[in-house]
Amino acid sequence: MIVCFDIGGTTIKGAYARSPETLEPLERVPTPTRDFEAFVDAIRKTVNAAPERPTGLALSVAAIVDPDTRGMIVANIPCINGRDLERELAASLRLPVVIANDADCFALAEATFGVGRGHEVVFGTILGSGVGGGLVVRGELVNEGGGYAGEWGHGPISAQIAGTPPRAIPRFNCGCGQVGCIDSICSARGLERLDHHLHGRELTSVDIIASWEAGDPRSAETIDVHVDLLASPLAVLVNVTGASIVPVGGGLSNARGLIAKLDEVTRSRTLRRFTTPLVVPAELTIEPGLIGSAILGFRRLCPVAAA
């Protein structure tokens, strides 16, 4: 048995797992974001309450593990930022620890048990409070040892002209420190920023999508520009990786019409001529972070059981 965690800036989700397919979800607890000892104690309490001594821990975290320093790069949990969390947790709890980015865990879950089953290359993308993703090739997570693969939301590549008819789009500052990132204009908050730029409105992303679905012409223009901004970078990503399926998670994935439109436009721009949907809603909508961490944990900590 291993103990799995999906750790975000608000809550820690936990589960006891006897296989990647058999998870016993636990009660959520608040994430201690500024007190490292409290953070470790929250993990320890779950481990100590397990029905048996676990083989190890597997964590999905809203963070990047730097492959050079092993330090965590995370904005919304300051107490673990910069720390070698694998090493420190392992030393404190006297158990082996595996940590991966939450988008990577999502991608691994979809490639193993979700809509990506049977595909050689799967790029799981997140469209929510941020834009991110994870890359799985032949069933293996590219970022298994940590790294930046899949972080397509960051980089100064956002188009300055988009939509039909064309509209001028500013290059917004991004939280990563760069200017003109896809994340800053195409995330849920970016969609709101885009709508405000185009129409001067203060609407939530949910309101924008709902009014687009109801036939509002201004929202239709916002969605048209939003999809145009997303589709070209996503098409290039598909060309580079060779992905044959792109499952989408995150809050915007709940707008099926939006994902269908993004799929149509993206497929029109890829070099490969896809005749079936490429960009599709994720299949595993319940706890993909826990599922992905369990898969990775069993492969690393219990290879015989994982096989």
pLDDT at 84 exceeding the cut of 60:
yes
pLDDT tens-digit profile of 242-267?
999 999 999 999 999 999 999 999 99
Local confidence band at 307 (pLDDT 50, 70, 90 cut-offs) = low
Class of 2-101+286-306 in CATH: alpha beta
pLDDT tens-digit profile of 204-247?
999 999 999 999 999 999 999 999 999 999 999 999 999 999 99
CATH of segment(s) 115-281: 3.30.420.40
CA 167 – CA 36 distance, rounded (Å)? 47
Contact status, residue 226 vs residue 194, Cβ threshold 8 Å: yes
CA 110 – CA 139 distance, rounded (Å)? 10
> Which own/partner contact pairs does 115-119 have at CB distance under 8 Å and 24+ positions apart?
115/245, 115/247, 115/280, 115/281, 115/282, 115/283, 116/245, 116/247, 119/243, 119/244, 119/245
Query: pTM (2 decimals)?
Result: 0.94
Q: Which residues contact 262 (CB under 8 A, 6 or more apart)?
A: 227, 230, 231, 234, 248, 279
Report pLDDT for 304: 56
Please, where in the chain does CATH 3.30.420.40 lie? 2-101+286-306, 115-281
Region 62-72 average pLDDT: 92
Task: List alpha helices for the chain, DSSP H.
Answer: 36-48, 85-93, 102-113, 182-186, 188-199, 205-213, 217-241, 256-267, 288-301, 303-306
If you ran DSSP here, which 8-state letter would residue 96 be given?
-
pLDDT tens-digit profile of 276-299?
999 999 999 889 999 999 999 999
Region 156-177 average pLDDT: 95
CA 83 – CA 128 distance, rounded (Å)? 26
Report pLDDT for 286: 84
Local confidence band at 144 (pLDDT 50, 70, 90 cut-offs) = confident
Nearest CA-CA partner of 86 in 26, 145, 136: 145
Report the chain's terminal Cα–Cα distance, integer Å.
15
Q: Which residues contact 106 (CB under 8 A, 6 or more apart)?
A: 124, 126, 134, 249, 282, 288, 289, 292
